[in-house]
Structures are given as structure tokens and as C-alpha cells.
Amino acid sequence: MNYGLVAVYKTIFSIVYGAYMDLISIRDVGLKDIEAILDTTEKIHNKEHEVDLKGKILATLFFEPSTRTKLSFQSAAMRCGMEILDFLPESSSLKKGESFVDTIKTVTGYADALAVRHPKEGSARLAASVSNKPVVNGGDGGNQHPTQTLIDLFSIRKSKGRIKGLNVTLLGDMKHARTMRSLVYGLAMFNANITLVSPKGLEMDPRYLDEVNKKFGLNVKIDNTPNYSDADVLYVCRIQAERFADPYEAQRVQEEFRVKKADLKDAKEDLAILHPLPKINEIESSIDEMPQAKYFEQAHYGIPLRMAVLEYLLR
Amino acid sequence: MNYGLVAVYKTIFSIVYGAYMDLISIRDVGLKDIEAILDTTEKIHNKEHEVDLKGKILATLFFEPSTRTKLSFQSAAMRCGMEILDFLPESSSLKKGESFVDTIKTVTGYADALAVRHPKEGSARLAASVSNKPVVNGGDGGNQHPTQTLIDLFSIRKSKGRIKGLNVTLLGDMKHARTMRSLVYGLAMFNANITLVSPKGLEMDPRYLDEVNKKFGLNVKIDNTPNYSDADVLYVCRIQAERFADPYEAQRVQEEFRVKKADLKDAKEDLAILHPLPKINEIESSIDEMPQAKYFEQAHYGIPLRMAVLEYLLR
Amino acid sequence: MNYGLVAVYKTIFSIVYGAYMDLISIRDVGLKDIEAILDTTEKIHNKEHEVDLKGKILATLFFEPSTRTKLSFQSAAMRCGMEILDFLPESSSLKKGESFVDTIKTVTGYADALAVRHPKEGSARLAASVSNKPVVNGGDGGNQHPTQTLIDLFSIRKSKGRIKGLNVTLLGDMKHARTMRSLVYGLAMFNANITLVSPKGLEMDPRYLDEVNKKFGLNVKIDNTPNYSDADVLYVCRIQAERFADPYEAQRVQEEFRVKKADLKDAKEDLAILHPLPKINEIESSIDEMPQAKYFEQAHYGIPLRMAVLEYLLR
């Protein structure tokens, strides 16, 4: 295939099938498709549905460290009967100076689908534009990580039975955390009530919230003090010390925003606590053993969810 | 599964099946189970027995360099029809500061069994305590490496037809070498006659020998001069220069303890020489081609032995 | 198997089957076998032939960075139904000082075939001499890379319908580039007309050309000025700056030898441009989208070609 034709090919595909051939951003997927993916995930999790992609190869190209995303893509693909081709940047021709685009063009010929993580924003979209195979974004810098958003939505629906009308509190750095913007977008699609709690100066960009509001309507509260007494779901993410000029201030804020066992007595009894992981110390480790802690289940839902995504992309 | 319940679950399992769900130490396995594993290994090696674990995933988590243990676990799993999920610490979220326990809890959800190597003693036991899947210890620091001990026992039985009553000489650093303590334990279970030959100051801890003696009875001789004229089996391990204050003394001792072709003329003709590998220069390379050298066969027995172990753990 | 017997075993094999059990150099393969491999590659590419090596394991041992060779060996093996055992030198016992020969002897017992890349010339031959399994050379320093040569020959035949009588221009560093010597050898076997264009001082060793000429007859022109107006095939390779004493001279020569879109107006319309990849900037990137650019197809032919080679070696 001439790579100049890739764009044409993928456009025709999207017209014929009414959906993109790639999964680069949660914005590429309509509500109906998301619901279909979540339903399939549920069926796979309940062992009511098998995905058969035997004989197909998934290439994983992770240009940044990852435990969960990479291994769960690989495990999900294995559970679908696929083989894994693992591109390791540290032992590749990148060292010889090969371009990202050339690497993608080459590996495209060796596999049936590509999962790509890269620190540069827009890299996954670039990869998709030169590959005639489905490309799924495993995180491109601070930009998008659509399968994580789908896992988050599934985890909420799974623990609460629904998303609509739930009080979902997002706690942490709303400015830089990759997952948060996409999650707000996804939650707005499903009409959840959102509270964004962040330290001062780490609020989510209001222009982004305006944009989501215009698209779906947005029921959102903004706060700078940790508080989740009315939350059905508490979604925690990290506050990196590097975001502060003063290390003492960083430590004070991290301590203030740490979720503590003692604080949970004021929370709803059936509160579900989520976290994209890895967590460092933003949640007291004693909470791990409490029934409210759902973050390891959340990580494990990555398998059926990514199986559903692979089926969706390779249909 | 709530991880607080893992201990309860694994305890019930051990009561129902009369055996542990994990393989952390050779002490966890009774003589009867060891003999069953060695018998199964023999059958697999003779192609009289197939292990079918198709569709199951083995995760390999090696936090320390390894050639034999990791690759032979992977190859063994493939020969059983399993898929391999390879966790590479250097490209993982460990770099972001994730704890060992969180990593294990996460990967547990992606696989059906875990093979773990970690430099810290007790880490494999810790992993087993937070995973609801079978965990096999691939070496935890200077502590335990049970599949190596099983390979050693199998290699002795395979080359000599039995273990009981054999004269087995262990040569090298008896104080620090990981494999040696476990091997003494295993040999005592099978009533072999053991000679421990080490440089002065690198003897095995006598309290450990007392403990084994109390448990099984122990026929043991201690020596500081290399000599194996009456040995049926000579098991060699490395003496690291770092153990000596004086580098010249280290070199002298390494030279004295090196197994030389010339020395073998005083040894039994059917002496079997074993070594856990990798070897550096503790055996003259010309010995590699002699019929007494059994260490590469020993390494290769890792495949059927670990297939038998996987069957034992995933039964 | 005693490793002293490997040579005897492999010799007997070569007498019985009339072919080597290993693929170390293009010199080991006769014209008839090459044609058979290219024909099989064609059939695999056209989906007229399937290779079934289910249940077999290919070990990949790459002691040097590689994207294409390693991943395409792995992908090819998967397409044949094989499993992949990936030896990663950076997390292996090499760090503890194990010898290359010991590593090969060990891994041999874990797999059914070995693909080896190593920076030292002669290492693949050495590996083959101590392994009782088929060994294929994935590049040993500046020496040999036979599957690359086969891909090159296949790519020429595929885009031009034949090799005999074609004008093939090789452009770049003819002195050091690994692929060039083997390609000249292969092209001479097929009676192509060869033009070698290199900067002064980077010509191919004339003794090598004499040798090939004596063996097959050689129609060769030597030039120091980039020119490919009569070429049917232009094969480009890199000129490394390190080969020049003066960095300005290096830059000047690299610029002079860069293939530019403007230059192609003087070339044949159906010129096929090949490159072993990775390319850095020796071809203007705008050429990538032109129909003459065949280098990504060339890389992708690595899959059916290496499938054919695996079938040839494991027949």
C-alpha cells in the first residue's frame, strides 16, 4: 500500500463503517459506540462473550515507561488469541537515528494492529496517519489516553450500576494529569455531576470546560479544598512536587490532598475510590484493604475493556 | 477478589489439596511431592507425558538479571501451550515510584501464574501473600531458588539413577551461594552423603546444618581443601572475589578451587560435574567437552522440570 | 547431545539433505536453493502457501540494536505458528561475565532454532558450531547478513520481474556497509550488471570483486560520482560521518550522495529505489511518497522471506 493513500483508505473505512479505524482520542468515539464497548466489556468480564482474533498480531510500541497499559494490552490480546510483537525502543534502530514515522511505517508491515505510547502530543494521530492498520493510542504525552477513559467509565458503571446523575469528585492536579480532561469529557457525555478539587493554580483550563459544556452541557463544581462527603465516586490522581516552586509548599499540599482513612468516616458508605495507578502516596496504604478501594479492580478491568477495544478495531 | 482474603484463600487451598498453591521455598514441598515432580519431569523429558495449560498466561517478573531461569520458565510455559507476559522492570512504572506490592497486585490481574525474581530476601513470599494466583520464586536474593534445587536433584538422579547414598561434594562458597543451602536441604531429604568444601571463612553456617540435621539427619563432612576423589557428584559454584579483603588472596583461592582437567584423573570415572551456571572460570573450559560435564544438560533439564512445576501449581 | 558431536551431526545433515542446517552466509546457499526460497517467498506473499511450524520455538538473541531484523524474524515466526523466546542481553547473565558460547549452549536447549545478531564477525558461525539446532545469522558485525541479501534479491525480482541483465546501481559506502558485499555476491550469481558508486576512499575492496568475478563472472563498473540515469534499480546505503577525518568533508560528501527528488527526473521512470533501512537523511523524505520508493515494501518482504527461511531451516 502506498502510504499516501492511507488517509483516503481510512476515511472511506470511517464512512462505510460509521466509525474510525483507529482509537486516538475519546472524542473519536460516539456515545453509542462507547456504550457498545462497555456492554461488550461487561459480557467478556462475565465470561458470556469470547473474542476470537486468532492468528492476528498486535505490535506494542511503548516509547515511555508503562506497566499497566502495556501489559494489559498484551494480556488482553493474548486472551483474544493474538500474538504480541513487542517493539523495545531501547534496543531498536531509534538509536541509529531512525525517525518515528519510519519506525511506524516499518512495524506496520509486521503486525495487524498497533498500540502506541509516546511522550509527544499528537504522535498517536501521526502514527495512525501513516499506518494502514488500526492504531490505538496508549497515551501521547499530556494529551489523550482513550482506553484509560473507557476503563474509568466502565469502573464507575460497574461499581455503581450507572454513570448518569452520579456525583463524581476528581481530586488532584486537574491541570496536568493526562487522564482528567478525557474523563471530564466522558463523564459529561453520560451526564454525571462533576466536582473538580485541585490545589490553587492546578485547576482545569476553563476554556476546556466551556468547550465540553457547549457540546454536552456540563454540571460542574470547582473547589480547592479536599471534600467528598457527597461523592458517589472519588477519582484520585497524583500531584507532582515538580509543579511547585517551593518544595515545602509541595509537601504541604500533597499532605493536604492525601486521602486518609480517617476522612472516609464523613464519606458515603458505598463510596467507590478510583485511581489510574501507579499511586505513590496520594492514598493512605491502609485504604487498600477497605471495600471502598476499587483501584486494583479498575486496573484489572483493563483486560476485558481492551479485549472489547481490540474487537472493535479489528472487526 | 479482596486482597485481604488472599491468605485465607491460599490456606484453604493448602488444606484441601494437601499442598501449597505457591512454590516459594523447597521447605514448602514434602518429599512425596518432590518425588512426584521429579517423576513427572522424567516422563516429560522422555516424551511420555504432555502438559496442557493452553490459554493460560504466565507472567515473568524478573527484577534482577537472569538468562537461564527466566528463559527456561518462558520456554517451559510455551511447551505447555501457555502465553508469556514479560514484565520488564526497566521500562515499567517502578521508575515512577510504584511499590513492589502494587506492581504484584496489578500484574496478578493480567495472568494466571507469576514467576518472580527479586534481589530482596522474602520478596517472593510477600508477592505470594498479595496475589490470588500461584507464585513461583525464581530466586529472592541470597535466600531461596526452589526450582533450581529441583533441577539439581533431578540432574543427580538422572545421571546416577538415584540420590540416596551417593557421595555428593559441593565445592565453592558455601556461605553466600544461594543454591547451596537449599541443595543441602534437598540432599538431606534424600539421604545423600554430603561433603562441603569451601575456602576458610566461607563455610556454611553451622546453625543451618544443625537445623537440617534435626529435621532429616545429616551425613556431612566439612573440608577446606579441594578434593573429590570419592565423589559421585561434584557440584561447583562460584567464589566471588568481592568476598576477600585482599585481591591477591582472592585470586589465589579462586585458582586453588578451580576444577582442572588434570585433577579429574584422580576422580571416579563416572563422576558427574554439575554447576548452576553461569560459570565464569571456576571450571577449566576444556572440561566442557568431557563426558563428566553435565552442567549444560542440567540447564536444559530446566525445561521439563519447570513444565512439571507449572502443572503442579496450576493443577 | 554432547557438543563435541555437533560438527559431525551438522556435517551428516548437510550430506543427507544437500544443504546446510544453518544460514550463516549467502555463500552457504547455492543458486538453486536461493531460487527455491524466493519462489516460496512469492507464494507466501500471494497467500498461496502456508508455513506450519506450530509448537516450535524460535529464540532471538540480538546482542546489538535492531528494529527490522529482530521484529520481522519474530513476526515471521508467529505467522508460521511458532513461539518466540526473546533473549535480552541487557537483562541477562552476560552481566555476570558468562561467555557467548555458554549462552548459546544454554539457550540451544530452550528452543528449536536460533536467530543471532552479534557485533563480532564470525560469531554466528561460532554459535552454529556449538548449537545442535539451526542457527540463522541476523548480522555479525561488518561481515554477513544473509536474510537481508535474500530480501534484497526478492525485492529486485518482485519490482522488476527478474534480476538477470538488470542495471543495478549501489550507492554509498561500499567499504564498510555490511549488506553491500553480500548483495554484490548475490547479484553476480544472478548475472546482473552492477555499478558501484561510492565516495573516494570508500570503494569496495578490489580483491573481493576479483574473488566474486572468478566464481561467477562479474559485470561491474566503479564510479565516484552519483549518477543513476541508466539504472533499473538504485540501492542506497548510508555514509557514516565517522569515516571521515574532517566533519565538513563528511557533510559535503553526505550532501553530494543524498538522493534528491530533483535528480530523479533524469532517472528511468520505473526506477526502483531500495534501502536496507534505517535511513537517516540519505534519501530526501519527499521521495518516500513517490512510486519509485520501494524501501518500505522491501522491509515488509522480510516477513514472507523469513517465513520461507524458517521453513527451509526447520524442514
Query: Distance between CA B51 and CA A203 in Å, rounded?
Result: 56
Query: Computed over its alpha carbons, how large is the radius of gyration of chain B?
Result: 20
What is the pLDDT, as a whole number, of residue B179?
86
Contact at CB, B67 and C109, closer than 8 angstroms:
no
The 3 state secondary structure assigned to B242-276 is HHCCCHHHHHHHHHHHCECHHHHHHCCCCCEEECC
Same-domain check for residues C306 and C273: no
Taking CA atoms, B102 is separated from A280, A299, B25, C63, in Å, by 9, 11, 23, 32
Same-domain check for residues B135 and B92: yes
Same-domain check for residues C131 and C203: no
Determine whether C96 is an active site residue: yes
Angle of helix C123-130 relative to helix C100-108, nearest 10 degrees, comes to: 50
Selecting among A60, A69, A108, A147, the annotated active-site residue is A69
Contact at CB, A109 and C303, closer than 8 angstroms:
yes
Q: Which of A97, A106, A110 is the closest to C280 by Cβ?
A: A97
Closest Cα partner for A301 from A36, A75, A84? Answer: A75
Contact at CB, A93 and C66, closer than 8 angstroms:
yes
Reply yes or no on whether the pLDDT at C215 is more than 80. yes
Same-domain check for residues C287 and C198: yes
Q: What number of C-beta contacts closer than 8 Å exist between B and C? A: 72
Q: Give the side-chain half-sphere CA count within 13 A for B251.
A: 3
Give ∠ CA B149-B155-B159 in degrees, rounded to 5.
Answer: 155
Q: What is the mean pLDDT of residues C223-233?
A: 96
Closest Cα partner for C132 from C1, C311, C17? Answer: C1
Q: What is the mean pLDDT of residues B171-183?
A: 91
> Quick one: cell of C47?
497467500
Query: Distance between CA B221 and CA B237 in Å, rounded?
Result: 18
* Residue B99: closest C-alpha in chain A: A280
Range of the domain at C112: 3-144+301-314
Q: Which of A78, A302, A303 is the closest to B83 by Cβ?
A: A78
Q: How confident is the model at residue C143 (pLDDT cuts 50, 70, 90)?
A: confident
Question: Given CB atoms, is A85 within the 8 Å cutoff of chain B?
Answer: no
Determine whether A178 is an active site residue: no
* Residue A55: closest C-alpha in chain C: C79
Query: Distance between CA A90 and CA B288 in Å, rounded?
Result: 35
Reply yes or no on whether the pLDDT at C266 is more than 70. yes
Chains contacting A (3 or more CB pairs within 8 Å):
B, C
What is the pTM assigned to this prediction? 0.94
Query: Distance between CA B28 and CA B36 in Å, rounded?
Result: 14
Please, which residues have CB within 8 angstroms of residue A214's CB and are 6 or more apart in sequence?
A: none
Question: Given CB atoms, is A279 within the 8 Å cutoff of chain B?
Answer: yes
Judge if the upstream peptide bond of residue A65 is cis by omega within 30 degrees of 0.
no
Same-domain check for residues C88 and C234: no
Determine whether A315 is an active site residue: no
Taking CA atoms, C243 is separated from B257, C139, C143, C177, C226, in Å, by 48, 20, 17, 11, 18
DSSP C259: B
Suggest the residue from B67, B238, B242 to mutate for an interface test with chain C (most C CBs closer than 10 A): B67
Same-domain check for residues A249 and A284: yes
Q: What is the mean pLDDT of residues C42-58?
A: 97
What is the pLDDT, as a whole number, of residue B20?
74
For the four alpha carbons of B111, B116, B120 and B122, in that order, the dihedral sign comes to positive
Query: Distance between CA B114 and CA B104 in Å, rounded?
Result: 9
> Quick one: cell of B43?
516422563
Give ∠ CA B58-B60-B66 in degrees, rounded to 5.
Answer: 140
Q: How confident is the model at residue B94 (pLDDT cuts 50, 70, 90)?
A: confident
Let me know: does C10 contact C127? Beta carbons within 8 Å: no
Query: Distance between CA B52 and CA B74 in Å, rounded?
Result: 15
What is the pLDDT, as a whole number, of residue A9?
76
All residues of chain C having their beta carbon less than 8 Å from the beta carbon of residue B278 are 93, 96-98, 102
Contact at CB, A277 and B85, closer than 8 angstroms:
no
Suggest the residue from A61, A63, A67 to mutate for an interface test with chain B (most B CBs closer than 10 A): A67
What is the pLDDT, as a whole number, of residue B314?
93
Burial of A64 (0-12, 13-18, 19+ CB in 10 A): middle
Reply yes or no on whether the pLDDT at B151 is more than 60. yes
Closest Cα partner for C26 from C216, C192, C189, C220? Answer: C189
What is the pLDDT, as a whole number, of residue C3?
57
Distance from CA of C23 to the nearest CA of B (A): 23
Let me know: does B118 contact B277? Beta carbons within 8 Å: no
Count of domains for chain C:
2
Let me know: does B179 contact B274? Beta carbons within 8 Å: no
Provide the 3-class DSSP secondary structure of residue B104.
helix
Distance from CA of B58 to the nearest CA of A (A): 10
Average of per-residue pLDDT values in chain B = 93
Question: Given CB atoms, is B208 within the 8 Å cutoff of chain A?
Answer: no
Q: How confident is the model at residue A5 (pLDDT cuts 50, 70, 90)?
A: confident
Question: Given CB atoms, is B121 within the 8 Å cutoff of chain C?
Answer: no
Q: Which of A57, A95, A102 is the closest to C65 by Cβ?
A: A95
Per-position b or e across B236-246, b if 16+ CB within 10 A of its CB: bbbbbeeebee
Across A1-10, A143-152, A194-203, least confident range? A1-10
The length of chain C in residues reads 315
Reply yes or no on whether the pLDDT at A1 is more than 60. no
Question: Given CB atoms, is C222 within the 8 Å cutoff of chain B?
Answer: no
Same-domain check for residues A240 and A154: yes
Closest Cα partner for B273 from B285, B291, B256? Answer: B291
Q: Which of B75, B86, B280 is the closest to C97 by Cβ?
A: B280
Q: What is the mean pLDDT of residues C180-205?
A: 96
What is the pLDDT, as a whole number, of residue C4?
59
* Residue A88: closest C-alpha in chain C: C67
Let me know: does A174 contact A203? Beta carbons within 8 Å: yes
Distance from CA of A96 to the nearest CA of C (A): 8
Q: How confident is the model at residue C142 (pLDDT cuts 50, 70, 90)?
A: confident
Question: Given CB atoms, is C48 within the 8 Å cutoff of chain A?
Answer: no
What is the pLDDT, as a whole number, of residue B219?
93
Reply yes or no on whether the pLDDT at C15 is more than 90. no
Same-domain check for residues C15 and C119: yes
Q: What is the mean pLDDT of residues A172-179?
A: 90
Residue reference for cell 538504485: C234
> Quick one: cell of C32?
538453486
Same-domain check for residues C135 and C190: no
Pairing of β A83-87 and β A57-62? parallel
Reply yes or no on whether the pLDDT at B223 is more than 90. yes
Provide the 3-class DSSP secondary structure of residue C19.
coil
> Quick one: cell of A218?
456540563
Q: Which of A70, A278, A300 is the closest to B109 by Cβ?
A: A300
Contact at CB, A107 and C71, closer than 8 angstroms:
yes
Q: Give the side-chain half-sphere CA count within 13 A for A93.
A: 20
Question: Given CB atoms, is B9 within the 8 Å cutoff of chain A?
Answer: no
> Quick one: cell of C76?
515471521
Chains contacting C (3 or more CB pairs within 8 Å):
A, B
Contact at CB, B91 and A86, closer than 8 angstroms:
no
Contact at CB, A62 and B111, closer than 8 angstroms:
no
Reply yes or no on whether the pLDDT at B1 is more than 70. no
Q: How confident is the model at residue A114 (pLDDT cuts 50, 70, 90)?
A: very high
* Active-site residue list of B: 68-69, 96, 117, 145
Reply yes or no on whether the pLDDT at C16 is more than 80. no
> Quick one: cell of B292?
563428566
Q: How confident is the model at residue A2 (pLDDT cuts 50, 70, 90)?
A: low
Q: What is the dihedral of CA B82, A71, C299, C189, to 10 degrees?
A: -40
Q: Residue C24 maps to which CATH number?
A: 3.40.50.1370
Residues 90-119 on B with a CB inside 8 Å of A are 90-98, 102-103, 105-107, 109-111
Query: Distance between CA A57 and CA A60 in Å, rounded?
Result: 10
Same-domain check for residues C296 and C153: yes
Let me know: does B183 contact B149? Beta carbons within 8 Å: yes
What is the pLDDT, as a whole number, of residue B2?
55
> Quick one: cell of C6?
555437533
Reply yes or no on whether the pLDDT at A17 is more than 90. no
Query: Distance between CA A262 and CA B10 in Å, rounded?
Result: 31
Taking CA atoms, A71 is separated from A49, A61, B103, in Å, by 22, 12, 11
DSSP state string for B133-195: S-EEEEEETTS--HHHHHHHHHHHHHHHS--TT-EEEEES-TTT-HHHHHHHHHHHHTT-EEE
> Quick one: cell of A67?
506497566
Distance from CA of C214 to the nearest CA of A (A): 36
Same-domain check for residues A82 and A61: yes
Q: What is the mean pLDDT of residues B51-64?
A: 96
Average of per-residue pLDDT values in chain A = 93
Please, which residues have CB within 8 angstroms of residue B33's CB and are 6 or more apart in sequence?
A: B19, B312
What is the pLDDT, as a whole number, of residue A35?
97
Reply yes or no on whether the pLDDT at B143 is more than 90. no
Taking residue C24's Cβ as centre, other Cβ atoms within 10 Å add up to 24
Give ∠ CA C100-C103-C107 in degrees, rounded to 5.
Answer: 140
Question: Given CB atoms, is A190 within the 8 Å cutoff of chain C?
Answer: no
Reply yes or no on whether the pLDDT at C302 is more than 80. yes
The tens digit of pLDDT for each residue in C93-121 reads: 777 788 999 999 999 999 999 999 999 99
What is the pLDDT, as a whole number, of residue B298?
98
Same-domain check for residues A235 and A292: yes
Pairing of β A233-236 and β B272-274? unpaired
Q: What is the mean pLDDT of residues A221-243?
A: 94
